[in-house]
Structure 1
Amino acid sequence: MPVDPPPARGYIRSRGMRVPRAVGITTGRIRAALRAETFERKECEAVLRVVNEGDRVLELGGGIGYVSTLMAVARKVTQLVTYEANPALIPHIRRMHEANGAEHIDLRNALLTPLPSDPVPFYVRRNILSSSLDGSVNPDGVLQTVDVDCHAVEAVLEEVKPDVLICDIEGGEADLLPAADWSCLRVAVIELHPQWIGQPGVQAVFDAMQRAGLTYFPRASEGKVVTFRKPW
């Protein structure tokens, strides 16, 4: 069995990928999860089960670039459009893509919205991963406020024509997913946030996927990460 090379200086090795170390991003808890390969485990296992080489993928919520890199490297998707609202994470995502030779990725610092919208304020905090659209949370920790572009979801779907949706948008799924026609999809992997969207929001997501012709796929679902796929 081949032995993995030692991790490059300044990187953490996880699932065969190199994750750049970054202050405020790869904190102690995240470093431990990366090394144990438990970081985003449920989403990663779902992606590895259902994403195929050659797929066109729309990812909503790029995070630190971990899942998009995994799809580009392990599944060699043809096209991957990644949306991430937090401008402070964009440089790290780019570094991770570059460190792993991840190609065919269109990284966009923007939000998808049900309808066309003017840019919205985004609050960047000292703890980068706690930055959000909500300025009322920990206002003393806000370092700066930046305007983030909004892209209408239907226009993006017409442009990208994705086969696969990966969605982790911290509760935004309950408003965004029911607002669009997702029938272009073969499969969707969605992290639900019932603590924020409640039962009505969860039901709205399931209903949106059913209207798109996708059914719940338990073999690639676990806990709050739910997968839907076309039955043929």
Structure 2
Amino acid sequence: MDGAQDSPKDPFLISRGMKIPKDPQLTRGRVRGALKADEYEKKECEAVMRVVRPTDTVLELGGGIGYMSTLLSAVKKVQRVVSYEANPALIPYIRSVHAANDVTNVDLRNALLMPQAGPQIPFYIRSNFLASSMHNSVDAEDIVDTAMIEQHGIAEVLAAEQPSVLVCDIEGAEATLLPAGDWSNLRLAIIELHPQWIGPEGVRAVFDAMHRGGLTYFAKASEGKVVCFRRDW
């Protein structure tokens, strides 16, 4: 079922069978079209649908609009999702997506996962929520608020949560964060690479981190910049 026939009075778009609340900032333009056509985060979603199991516990880095955590919970029926999203402006919307789909097994954390835990740091919220970031040197005039965000240490989180699956889309931070983790307990990882920002050295660092954890590139669930690693084929 797709959302091609959605009514203006309907508060939801339908995407991959999920209810996505309409929002004037977050579900417009290309995003709206991609949601209705089941094309939103298509490569990641297809990898998840292919290799994630109901018995999995998933660590999601980069919660976005809550689409992937909802897919994992409501469609793939995984045991649990621990989802990290740094942008505080997105948290209420993510919760609304979860509520619309009766999702109750996602631990949503408005924090940064870092190589080491640290003090809170400022996060700059812009009028365009999706342009918000930890940087205030670009388009400073668009900043409408500042929030203090916790920094959680990757070693402590992995030890406490024991995820079997990693789903990661963190806009280039994968090159520094993933090499800091011990991924030896993972069954598989689905990672969106950002080679335009991290370069060949960063891509190599991600692959090396997965290999150290005993995972190997799995071509059947990989496409372009979205790469899958599995322990057993």
Same fold judged by TM-score > 0.5? yes
Write the deviation string for residues 42-65 of structure 1: whole angstroms up to 9, x where unpaired: 000001111101210000000000
Whole-angstrom CA distance in 2 between matches of 1:202 and 1:46 = 19
Q: Secondary structure at the match of 2:119?
A: coil
Residue in 1 aligned with 2:159? Answer: 158
Which residue identity is paired with 1:186? Answer: R
Partner of 1:192: 193
Following superposition, the deviation at residue 138 of structure 1 comes to: 1.1
* Correspondence for 2:40: 39
Cα displacement (A) at 1:76 = 0.7
Deviation at 1:134, TM superposition (A): 1.4
* CA deviation after TM superposition for structure 1 residue 79, in Å: 1.0
The 8 Å contact of residues 2 and 15 in structure 2, kept in 1 or not, is answered as no
Q: Give the aligned residue type for 2:178.
A: L
RMSD (Å), alpha carbons = 1.5
Alignment partner, residue 70 of structure 2: 69
Q: Distance in 1 between matches of 2:118 and 2:225?
A: 29
Indicate the residue corresponding to 1:49 in structure 2: 50
Do structure 1's residue 119 and structure 2's residue 103 form an aligned pair?
A: no
- Kindly state the Cα deviation for residue 3 of structure 1 after the two structures are TM-superposed: 10
Question: Where does structure 1 lack aligned partners over 5 or more consecutive residues?
Answer: none
Question: How is 1:1-150 mapped onto 2 (pairs within 5 angstroms)?
Answer: 9-150=10-151
Structure-2 separation of matches of 1:3 and 1:150 = 38
Counting only pairs closer than 5 Å after superposition, residues 203-222 of structure 1 correspond to structure 2 as: 203-222=204-223
Does the CA contact (< 8 Å) of 2:59 and 2:81 recur in 1?
yes
Normalising to structure 2: TM-score of the pair? 0.95
User: 1:215 Cα deviation (Å)?
Assistant: 0.2
SS of structure 2 residue aligned to 1:76: coil
Q: Is the 8 A contact 2:72 2:78 kept in 1?
A: yes
Name the CA shift for 1:31/1:3 in 2 (closer, same or farther; >3 Å).
closer
Query: In structure 2, what is the equivalent of residue 183 of structure 1?
Result: 184
Tell me which stretches of 4 or more aligned residues in structure 1 moved more than 4 Å: none
3-state SS of the aligned residue for 1:121?
Answer: strand
Q: Deviations over 1:115-172 (max 9, x none)?
A: 1211111111111111111111211111111111110000000110000000000001
SS of alignment partner, residue 119 of structure 1: strand
User: 2:115, 2:181 within 8 Å by CA — same for their partners in 1?
Assistant: yes
The letter of the residue matching 1:204 is A
Distance (Å, rounded) in 2 between the aligned partners of 1:47 and 1:194 = 21
Partner of 2:174: 173
SS at match of 2:214: coil
Q: Letter of the 2:174 partner, please give it.
A: E
Displacement of 1:102 in angstroms is 1.6
Letter in 2 for 1:101: D
Which SS does the other structure have where 2:163 is aligned?
coil
Question: Percent of aligned pairs with the same residue?
Answer: 56
Could you tell me which runs of 5 or more consecutive residues in structure 2 were left unpaired when the two chains were aligned.
none
Question: 1:23, CA displacement in angstroms?
Answer: 2.4
CA distance in 2, matches of 1:43, 1:193: 14
In structure 1, the residue corresponding to 2:124 is in which secondary structure? strand
Change (3 A) 1:101 1:196: same
Partner amino acid, structure 2, of 1:131: S
Residues 84 and 108 in structure 2, CA contact (< 8 A), matched pair in contact too: yes
